[in-house]
Structure 1
Amino acid sequence: MLKALWTKIRNLSKLFIYVVIVPTTLSILYFGLIASPVYISESRFVVYSPSQHFSTSGLGSLLSGLGGSNSTSAAQTIHAYIESWDALMALQHTYDIRKIYSSSDIDIFNRFGGIFHPHHSFVKLLRYYQSMVTDNLDNTNGITKLKVRAYSAEDSRKINAFLLQKSQDIVNQLNATAREKAVHYAKNDVAIAEQKLRDATVALAAYRNRQAVFSPPAQSALQLGMVSKLQDQLITQRTQLDAIRAHAPKNPQLPVLKSSIQSLQGEIRAENAKVTGSKQSLASKDTEYERLSVNQLLAQKLLEAAVTSLEQARLTAQKQELYLETISRPNLPDAPQLPHRFEDILATLLISFIVWGILTILIAGVKEHHDR
């Protein structure tokens, strides 16, 4: 039986052997015996902002409204990071990704450092890593699909989970940066207003100490109150003096009343002088005091306005914050998804037959043309 099979093979044309049998046999050997199984871990996430509006008619409708400009930009930033040198170095530091993809358990054609990936430099590893990790953003609904290929199920899952966590960190960093920028100028305004209020308060306190006065308006009111009481006493004693003069001109109390009246008049003049009429009076100190008081009040109002603006800036920044919502966590595949062994062998066979048929027709045409 083997002899008959060998005879049939020898009778086949060399073209058929080289174009169909050899490639198909090699594909059977490679896909059937050599090619290492590839495990794919997949996760899905969406980046959104609470300020974006969406309907509540199911998950698909909800996610369709999440593709705003800020969230899309954040998703593109995540995509750029996942393919970046920093992502590779972070993975290398945590999991030694070069060792994972250089394992001797991986076939020599696919492992890093093998026939098709002979280099061991990190520059070449970056290209290899980029071929094993893909993330695709669906612009219609904002969903990002992250796929990681590896040659063990656990490796694919842990690399996917690591990149998903890094994506969350990127969103947090973007929020922190945006929040800092949003409140930066408002914080400066608050600091300037606080300094102005401190300066105005210190200036007012220094003036009070220098002039030995607390509040000219309040102190003037007290002084005028005392003057009013002294004037009441003066009027009373003058009335008594007039009455005694009219009924008892020789009364011995007259000199006492006159002396008391003169004393009251002196006290009234002295108290009035404290309020007005001299450089040391409260009235002369009131102008500068009022100016300093107004400066302090204005500084206080400016500080209140600056604090309000800062709170508004914080609220606005909070409304514009981005969130990464994980739709599906990285799965642990229980079976390899690649290679498609039977399909790949069949595809090789079909392509070989097509190439063989084309070459046969071309050769026949050349021979027919030559015979003529």
Structure 2
Amino acid sequence: MQDVVVEEERRPAVDESLRQAKAFSVELRKAARKARTPRPIVSGGGGFRARKGDRLFRLFAVGSLVTLFVIPTTLAVLYYSLIASDQYVSEARFSIRSADTSASSPMASLSALFGGGQATDAAIIAEYVKSGAIINQLSDSFNLIELFTTKRWDPIASLEANPTSEDLIKYWKGQVDISVERSSGLTTLRVRAFSPTDSLALTKEILRVAEQMVNRLTRRTEENALREAEAEVQTTKRRLSESIYKLKTMRDSTGILDVSSAAAANTEILTKLRLEKAKLDVQIKSLEDNDSGSAPQLGTLKNQTTAIGQQIRKYEQSIAGASTGSSIASRGAGLAEAETDLKVTQAEYQKSVGVYELARMTLERQRSYILTYVQPSLPQEALYPKRLLIVMAVALGTAVLWAIVIGVAMLARDHMA
């Protein structure tokens, strides 16, 4: 009985102890769950002590900051303040004009409507300036490799030693900037070099070479016309030589230098003989009318008349004898034909020479002009590199990159913990 009373007295104390132990167990479980929950590094980590992963994350953050931001920014500051070479820019602005195209002509309007003419020539020049073809032309006046090599070590801006042709073209495209306004064909050319005088001289030479190139393109038709005219001159010259040789052969075979001259000479002689015969006939008639038939001079006069008559018939037959092939008319027919052929070939030759001279003068005349309305001038100060702007861009870019890397790493850490 006494034991039962004691047990009943102890029961409230036991219940209280059990209640306290249960409450303590709940608190321990809450603390354990809280310790297992990941906490951002900015709040100092979680749990009862800083975990090893938090220390590694801090090292990663510092290392990435140095690698992605501090080192690139420091290198940019050192390069652009101590190493980078000054680059000078010479600028020219120009347009293309044709020597034989009026701006008010209908063809000029059609050319502008369909995007041709000046805008097309300017676009061609822009492509030419950016190509390797102009480098070959400029190499006759400049040593481009030496011109684009800095006197001090500059691994970024300077042309590399012993470059290939592809390397030179790639570098050239970075040093030359040309833009064309499509509607008007106005063109802006900007050339960079490490010396003000080199920049100016190179710009002027580019303009000269580009103008020559445009004229070579526009002369394509004229070159074809000149070749055709030259071929025609050679053809007519050959025909003229053949006609001259044929005429010479005919003269040698006929013994007549000129049909007209020979006929005129024979006609003149024949006329004189007829006059002489007429005088003798008059004298003979006078003697016979005066009953002087036995006069001694009458026989002489008749003999002279007979001889002159024979000479007259001979010359008549030599000029145009119907029964002989040795007359001037017979022999001169082929000769006259040869002379006519010579005159025709001479006229053709003179005409072909005239066409050739016209084609040559047209080819030699300059057809297109580069009208520079902003002349290139000697640069006074270096425009490149933009040191402060580039350093600020590097610093901002690397800072943004580091922030992105850290943000991605924290997001991955929070979800993987």
Q: Give the TM-score of the pair, scaled to structure 1.
A: 0.73
Give the Cα separation in 1 of the matches to 2:250 and 2:60. 116
Deviation at 1:235, TM superposition (A): 4.7
Match of 2:49 in 1: none
- Which of the pair has more CA radius of gyration? 2
Deviation at 1:167, TM superposition (A): 3.7
Match of 2:306 in 1: 262
Given candidates 158, 161, 169, the residue that maps to 1:111 is: 158
Give the Cα separation in 1 of the matches to 2:365 and 2:310. 72
CA pair 307-75 structure 1, distance change in 2 beyond 3 A: farther
1:337 maps to amino acid: L
Is this contact kept in 2: 1:186–1:313, CA < 8 A? yes
Give the Cα separation in 2 of the matches to 1:219 and 1:132. 81
CA pair 312-162 structure 1, distance change in 2 beyond 3 A: closer
Deviation at 1:265, TM superposition (A): 1.9
Deviation at 1:287, TM superposition (A): 0.8
Is this contact kept in 1: 2:88–2:199, CA < 8 A? yes
Give the Cα separation in 1 of the matches to 2:292 and 2:81. 146
Deviation at 1:236, TM superposition (A): 5.2
Give the Cα separation in 2 of the matches to 1:68 and 1:317. 23
SS in 2 for 1:147: strand
CA pair 228-362 structure 1, distance change in 2 beyond 3 A: same
Match of 1:4 in 2: none
Given candidates 164, 172, 193, the residue that maps to 1:122 is: 164
Cα RMSD (Å):
4.0
Aligned residues: 346
Deviation at 1:306, TM superposition (A): 0.6
Unaligned runs of 5+ in 1: 1-9, 56-62, 114-118
Q: Alpha-carbon deviations, 1:304-348, whole Å to 9, x = none? A: 221232233235435673334444444322222122233223333
Match of 1:193 in 2: 236
Matches within 5 A, 1:196-345: 196-235=239-278, 237-238=280-281, 241-242=284-285, 244-245=287-288, 248=291, 250-252=293-295, 254-277=298-321, 278-317=324-363, 321-345=367-391
CA pair 312-87 structure 1, distance change in 2 beyond 3 A: closer
Tell me which moved more, 182-191 or 68-77: 68-77
Q: Alpha-carbon deviations, 1:195-232, whole Å to 9, x = none? A: 33233234324433443323233322332344344345
Matched, 1:49 2:49: no
CA pair 75-189 structure 1, distance change in 2 beyond 3 A: farther
Give the Cα separation in 1 of the matches to 2:131 and 2:196. 25
Given candidates 193, 199, 208, the residue that maps to 1:156 is: 199
Q: Alpha-carbon deviations, 1:79-134, whole Å to 9, x = none? A: 434664x257546xx44634751432x43443344xxxxx6443444533443233
Match of 2:145 in 1: 97
SS in 2 for 1:101: coil
Tell me which moved more, 278-287 or 26-35: 26-35
Q: Alpha-carbon deviations, 1:7-51, whole Å to 9, x = none? A: xxx999636665555544444444444433332223344444312
Match of 1:37 in 2: 86
SS in 2 for 1:218: helix
Matched, 1:80 2:80: no
Is this contact kept in 2: 1:41–1:333, CA < 8 A? yes
CA pair 76-320 structure 1, distance change in 2 beyond 3 A: farther
Is this contact kept in 1: 2:98–2:368, CA < 8 A? yes
Same amino acid, percent of matched pairs = 23
CA pair 225-164 structure 1, distance change in 2 beyond 3 A: closer
Is this contact kept in 2: 1:47–1:75, CA < 8 A? no
SS in 1 for 2:188: strand
SS in 1 for 2:131: helix
CA pair 303-311 structure 1, distance change in 2 beyond 3 A: same
SS in 1 for 2:86: coil
CA pair 347-183 structure 1, distance change in 2 beyond 3 A: same
